[in-house]
Structure 1
Amino acid sequence: MSFALALKRAVLARRSGGLQLLLMYLSQAINAVFPLLIAPLVVRKAGVPEFGSYSLMLVASQAALLVSEYSFDAVGPRLLAAKPRNVAESDIGRAVLRNKLALFPLALLVWISGCVMLRIEITLPAFAGGVLVLLGTALQANWYLVATHRAKYVAIFNLLGRLVALTLIVAALSLKLGPGWLLFGTGAGMFAAGAVVSVKTLGFQTRTSLMPSVSLLGQGRSAFLATAGASLQNLVGVGLAGMLGGASGAGAYAATDRIARSASGSLKPFFLTIYPRMAKMHVDSPAKATRLAALMAAIWLIAAAPLVLATYLWGEKLLLLLYGQPIPGAAPILTILVGWLAFGVANNFLGIQGLLAGGRDRQYLHAIWSGLAMTALFAGACLLLRLPVVDAALAVLVGEAVVFVALALKFWNMR
Structure 2
Amino acid sequence: MKNGMWLYLLQLFNTLLPLLTIPYLTRILGASVYGSFSFSLNIIGYFQVIVEYGFNLTGSRKIATAKNKEEIEKIYSAITTSKIILCIITFVLMIIISSIFNINQTQFISMIILYILVIGTSLQQTWLFQGIQDMKYITIINVIARTFSLIFIFLFVKNPNDLYVYCAVYSITFLINGIISTIIIAKKLKIKYKIPNFFEVKNEFNEGWHIFTTSAMSRIFSTFSITILGFISTDSDVGIFAAMQKIPLIIVMLFAPIGVVIYPYVSKIYDESFDKGIKVVERIGKITLPFATLIAIVLIFYSKEVTNLVFGTEYVTYALLLIPLSSWMIMSILNNFLGIQIVVASGHQKEYSTAFKYSLIALVLFNIIFGLLWGVYGVAVANFIAELTLTIILVFIIKKIRINNSLKL
TM-based fold match above 0.5? yes
- In percent, how many aligned pairs have the same letter? 21
Question: Of 358, 365, 368, which residue of structure 1 is paired with 2:353?
Answer: 365
Matches within 5 A, 1:64-143: 64-85=47-68, 87-112=70-95, 117=101, 119-121=103-105, 126-143=110-127
1:46 aligns with 2:29: yes
User: Per-residue deviation at 1:311?
Assistant: 1.6
Q: Name the residue aligned to 1:208.
A: 195
Q: Name the residue aligned to 2:387.
A: 400
Q: Name the residue aligned to 1:344.
A: 332
TM-score, normalised to structure 2's length? 0.89
Q: Name the residue aligned to 2:2.
A: 19
User: Per-residue deviation at 1:261?
Assistant: 1.0
Contact kept in structure 1, 2:44 and 2:111, CA below 8 Å: no
1:196 aligns with 2:180: yes
Q: Deviations over 1:365-386 (max 9, x none)?
A: 1111111100111122135x44
Matches of 1:103 and 1:260, distance apart in 2: 30
User: Per-residue deviation at 1:132?
Assistant: 1.0
Paired letter, 1:360? H
Paired letter, 1:91? K
Contact kept in structure 1, 2:63 and 2:72, CA below 8 Å: yes
User: Per-residue deviation at 1:184?
Assistant: 1.4
Paired letter, 2:5? L
Question: Of 149, 157, 174, which residue of structure 2 is paired with 1:165?
Answer: 149
Q: Name the residue aligned to 1:35.
A: 18
Query: Aligned pair in 2 of structure 1 residues 206, 150: CA closer, same or farther (>3 Å)?
Result: closer
Contact kept in structure 2, 1:337 and 1:393, CA below 8 Å: yes
Contact kept in structure 2, 1:301 and 1:346, CA below 8 Å: yes
Q: Name the residue aligned to 1:6.
A: none
Aligned positions, number: 397
Contact kept in structure 2, 1:129 and 1:181, CA below 8 Å: no
Matches of 1:244 and 1:123, distance apart in 2: 16
Q: Deviations over 1:307-348 (max 9, x none)?
A: 332222101101111123241543121221111110011111
Paired letter, 1:60? I
User: Per-residue deviation at 1:27?
Assistant: 0.9
Paired letter, 1:241? L
User: Per-residue deviation at 1:225?
Assistant: 1.1
Matches of 1:101 and 1:127, distance apart in 2: 19
Query: Aligned pair in 2 of structure 1 residues 26, 103: CA closer, same or farther (>3 Å)?
Result: same
User: Per-residue deviation at 1:118?
Assistant: 8.7
Contact kept in structure 2, 1:75 and 1:219, CA below 8 Å: yes
Contact kept in structure 2, 1:63 and 1:114, CA below 8 Å: no
Contact kept in structure 1, 2:74 and 2:196, CA below 8 Å: no
Q: Deviations over 1:141-196 (max 9, x none)?
A: 12211322331111111012212322333344226544233221111111011111
Contact kept in structure 2, 1:118 and 1:239, CA below 8 Å: no
Paired letter, 1:38? T
Question: Over aligned residues, Cα RMSD in angstroms?
Answer: 2.5
Contact kept in structure 2, 1:282 and 1:289, CA below 8 Å: yes
Contact kept in structure 2, 1:172 and 1:178, CA below 8 Å: yes
Matches of 1:120 and 1:410, distance apart in 2: 44
TM-score, normalised to structure 1's length? 0.88
Query: Aligned pair in 2 of structure 1 residues 139, 285: CA closer, same or farther (>3 Å)?
Result: same
1:59 aligns with 2:42: yes
User: Per-residue deviation at 1:26?
Assistant: 0.8
Paired letter, 1:31? N
Matches of 2:365 and 2:87, distance apart in 1: 31
Look up the SS of the partner of 1:208 in the other structure.
coil
Q: Name the residue aligned to 2:376.
A: 389
Matches of 1:98 and 1:39, distance apart in 2: 35
Contact kept in structure 2, 1:27 and 1:155, CA below 8 Å: yes
Contact kept in structure 1, 2:363 and 2:382, CA below 8 Å: yes
Contact kept in structure 2, 1:36 and 1:258, CA below 8 Å: no
Please identify, of 207-216 and 247-256, the stretch whose mean Cα deviation from structure 2 is larger: 207-216
Contact kept in structure 2, 1:129 and 1:185, CA below 8 Å: no
Look up the SS of the partner of 2:66 in the other structure.
coil
1:146 aligns with 2:130: yes
Paired letter, 2:178? G
User: Per-residue deviation at 1:305?
Assistant: 3.4
1:156 aligns with 2:140: yes
